[in-house]
Structures are given as structure tokens and as C-alpha cells.
Amino acid sequence: MKVTIGHLYPDLFNLYGDSGNVQCLKQRLVWRDMEAEVCPLCAGDEIDFGKLDILVWGGGSDKGQALAVDYLRQIRQDFKDYVEDGGVVLAICGAFQLLGKYYQAGEDRIEGLDILDIHTERCDERLVGNVVLESPLFGTPVVGFENHAGRTVIGDCTPLGKVLYGRGNTGDGGYEGVVYKNVIGSYLHGPLLPKNPEVCDWLLERALRRRYGEDVELKELSDEAELRANRNMAERLGVGKKGR
Ligand code: GLN
């Protein structure tokens, strides 16, 4: 079995090692004797969404986001169709924001893809620091690092998780990220997936089942080091088993 991973706009969106998410997806397939093809999709490239199993889109600065607007307009309909058809997406920070209607950055309104009914407004105070979430999708807390000026209002959409430590989508709303069909949007850098193998496998399993059928099961991996890193962070922040 083979999984094709599209890495969207690595030239404009690659903050805080977010491309490590692509490596993690690939490596966890390789460990399971599966094939992974990574396709960098640079600004202006023709994108054949039908070929893709997973689309990974990293965080980007306000400038990178503004530069992407015209390219996004060109791929908007195909991207939306891919999402509605169950296509798997991981969108981090600036990319998470652009899944929505707009990112209002001062006087500039950066138009999003309008795939999700969410929007973002920039505030003066940046939200920077470690984050721990509790998500109904995963048995293990999700850990990561946030650094954003935008506050994202997700309205009736489903959040990725409840903030146990850190600030999250709006700084004070208690929730982080968004989940829609097979899409995860999140502010969490880190990169997110290496320390959260369950999140990585959630994406892989959905991609494999969409392509090869619902009975595909992922072979278990030991994840000892990954879970130790995860636990270490949660406990250091006082929200692990030994914490509150
Ligand atoms: N420019 C956006 C913000 O600060 C996104 C930043 C990011 O991707 N880290 O809110």
C-alpha cells in the first residue's frame, strides 16, 4: 500500500520545523513496510488532488499568508472538493487560519479558502508557549507549541481539543484547533506529529481507509520514545498523570 503526501507551499509555509510532520508521516509508513511518496507543491504548481492521500500545510508568517492568497484562489474549489470527499488534511497555524473565511491582520484582510466557517483576527498580544490538550479523538494528551497573534473563532465547528495548558484558538475560550471530516487544523507547532503519534496515525488510518477500504488496520509501533517525550512535556507542565 502506498500513501501520497502533498506538502503544500513548503516555500511559503514552514515555521518552527512544521515540515517535520511530513517526515513523521512518511517514517511511520516506512516502519510499517508501506510506501510513501512526498510531493512538494510549491506556489503556482498545478495540483492534482485526486492523486493525494494526505495534504500537509505548515504554519506561515502574515507575509507568507498574504503572498499565498492568489495561489489559494486558484486551488480553492479543488481543495474544497477534496475535503468534502474525505481527503485528509493537516493544517498548522497560518494554514489553519486560511482554511477559514479570512485572517484580519490590522487593516489587511487576507482572504482564506472559506472551506470552514471560521475566521481569525490579529491582536497585539502574541500567544506564545507550550500547550497541552485533551482531545476526545485521542487517549494521550496532545502536546505542542503555539506562537500566533491571530485569534480564531470556530463558531459551531468542532475543536480539536480542550486546552489543559496554554492559550488555544482565542486565548481564553478554552479550546484549540478544529476537526472537520478528515481535516485537522491546529495552532500546534512542535512539529506536532512526532510527539503525538496517535494524531499521526489518525491521519494515516483515514488516508489508507479512504484509498484501500475500511478494513485497513495500522500495524502497532512501539512508540516508547515518542510517548516518553509526550509524557515528559505534559508532566513538566503539571498536566500529566502526576500533575493536576
Ligand atoms: N501569522 C499568523 C499569526 O501570527 C500565523 C503564525 C504562524 O503560523 N505561526 O497568527
Domain range for 140 is: 2-236
Residues 196 and 233: their CA atoms lie apart, in Å, by 11
At 155-176, the pLDDT tens digits run: 999 999 999 999 999 999 999 9
H helix or E strand, kind and range, residue 144: strand 142-153
At 63-91, the pLDDT tens digits run: 999 999 999 999 999 999 999 999 999 99
The pLDDT assigned to 46 comes to 95
**Residue 210, in any domain of the structure:** yes
Please tell me the distance between residue 150's alpha carbon and the centre of ligand 1 in angstroms. Answer: 6
Can you give the CATH number for the domain in which 126 is found? 3.40.50.880
Say which amino acid occupies 99.
Answer: L
The pLDDT assigned to 241 comes to 59
Band of the pLDDT at 117, cuts 50, 70, 90?
A: very high
**Residue 242, in any domain of the structure:** no
Report how many domains make up the chain.
1
**Residue 241, in any domain of the structure:** no
Check if 110 has its Cβ closer than 6 Å to any atom of ligand 1: no
Determine the residue of 12, 19, 93 to mutate for testing ligand 1's pocket, defined as the one with the most ligand atoms within 8 A of the Cβ atom: 93
Check if 91 has its Cβ closer than 6 Å to any atom of ligand 1: no
Q: State the alpha helices, DSSP H only, in 57-196.
A: 62-84, 94-98
**Residue 165, in any domain of the structure:** yes
**Residue 175, in any domain of the structure:** yes
Please tell me the distance between residue 33's alpha carbon and the centre of ligand 1 in angstroms. Answer: 36
Please tell me the distance between residue 122's alpha carbon and the centre of ligand 1 in angstroms. Answer: 9
Give the residue-averaged pLDDT of 191-206.
Answer: 98
**Residue 150, in any domain of the structure:** yes
**Residue 244, in any domain of the structure:** no
**Residue 50, in any domain of the structure:** yes
